[in-house]
């Protein structure tokens, strides 16, 4: 019964928040700080409906940093409410082109200045990656990647896709890993309290002296650092 009530509340929240976000960003479409507004609108109420408390660690690293590529683990659609709580200003994310057609959310996500990628069309995908490089190097904007490329459903972090790392090396900007604890373990909409999700920003990994030949090692090093970070956070849960 509790889960049904929550689904109804979440549906109402989603529609109302999307309309509110649209009314705000329509006056400055594609602005680089729209993503933070969207993330905060969805997260502030959403995480209270699902009853997940959030603790941040080292958030100042990302907030005070120059343009960078943020790499984080991706567990579920609930990430919108949980990871969304830490999105800083001047940050956009990379998403599937199909998101654009998702009612309400898709339109504000696109107007929010986020970058949509058509993964089925290599030429368009490469053009989108060039757009990310331009945002990093000329617009003083950072890019957020869910580097696994898909949700891991709270299990072990999946292998990373290369896109985030190629982008960082090509632009010569650092990678900042962001780890979220495995909050899905024990999560249920039918229980009143879903505990605490821990989010930790790791130290930047520089790429200025790297070439594309270094991407595989960079990807491995980042993956290992994040696995350690997630294990550390899970011990706190």
Q: Kindly tell me the burial class for residue 25, based on how many C-beta atoms sit within 10 Å of its own C-beta (0-12, 13-18, 19 or more).
A: buried
Handedness of CA 78, 79, 80, 81 (dihedral sign): positive
- Hey, which bits of the chain come out as E strands? 53-57, 69-72, 91-96, 115-117, 142-146, 175-180, 196-201
* Residue, of 154 and 34, whose pLDDT is higher: 34
Q: What is the mean pLDDT of residues 180-185?
A: 93
User: pTM score, two decimals?
Assistant: 0.90
Q: What is the mean pLDDT of residues 100-110?
A: 83
pLDDT for 19? 92
The answer to whether 89 and 7 are in contact (CB under 8 A) is: no
Cα–Cα distance, 233 to 237 (Å, whole number): 7
Strand order in the sheet with 69-72: 53-57, 196-201, 175-180, 69-72, 142-146, 91-96, 115-117
Q: What is the mean pLDDT of residues 7-15?
A: 94
Q: Kindly tell me the burial class for residue 180, based on how many C-beta atoms sit within 10 Å of its own C-beta (0-12, 13-18, 19 or more).
A: buried
Residue 145 sits in a domain whose CATH number is 3.40.1130
Hey, which residues does 196 pair with through a beta bridge? 53
| pLDDT digits 0-9 by tens, 214-228 | 999 999 999 999 999
Annotate 3-18 with DSSP letters as a single string.
HHHHHHHHHHHHHHHH
64 pLDDT more than 80: no
- Count how many domains the chain has: 1
The token pair that represents 53 in the structure block: 């408390």
The separation between CA 99 and the C-alpha centre of its own chain, rounded to angstroms, equals 14
pLDDT for 180? 96
pLDDT for 32? 80
63: containing domain:
2-234
pLDDT for 128? 67
For the chain, report the end-to-end CA distance as a whole number of angstroms.
26
The token pair that represents 6 in the structure block: 């929550």
pLDDT bucket at 204, cuts 50 / 70 / 90: very high
Which phi and psi (to 5°) does residue 27 adopt?
Answer: -85, -10
């Amino acid at each position: 019964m509790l889960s049904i009530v929550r689904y109804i509340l979440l549906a109402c929240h989603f529609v109302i928040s999307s309309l509110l976000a649209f009314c705000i960003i329509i006056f400055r479409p594609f602005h680089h700080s729209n993503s933070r507004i969207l993330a905060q609108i969805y997260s502030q109420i959403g995480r209270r409906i699902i009853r997940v408390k959030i603790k941040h660690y080292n958030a100042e690293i990302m907030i005070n940093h120059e343009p960078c590529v943020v790499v984080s683990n991706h567990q579920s659609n609930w990430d919108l409410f949980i990871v969304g709580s830490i999105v800083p200003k001047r940050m956009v994310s990379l998403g599937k082109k199909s998101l654009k057609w998702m009612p309400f959310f898709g339109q504000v996500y696109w107007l929010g200045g986020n970058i949509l990628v058509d993964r089925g069309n290599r030429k368009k995908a490469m053009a989108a990656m060039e757009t990310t490089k331009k945002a990093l190097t000329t617009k003083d904007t950072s890019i957020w990647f869910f580097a696994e490329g898909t949700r891991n459903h709270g299990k072990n972090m999946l292998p990373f896709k290369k896109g985030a790392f190629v982008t960082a090396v090509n632009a010569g900007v650092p990678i900042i890993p962001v780890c979220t604890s495995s909050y899905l373990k024990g999560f249920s909409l039918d229980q009143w309290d879903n505990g605490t999700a821990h989010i930790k920003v790791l130290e930047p990994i520089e790429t200025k002296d790297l070439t594309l030949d270094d991407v595989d090692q960079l990807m491995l090093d980042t993956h290992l650092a994040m696995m350690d970070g997630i294990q550390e956070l899970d011990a706190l849960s």
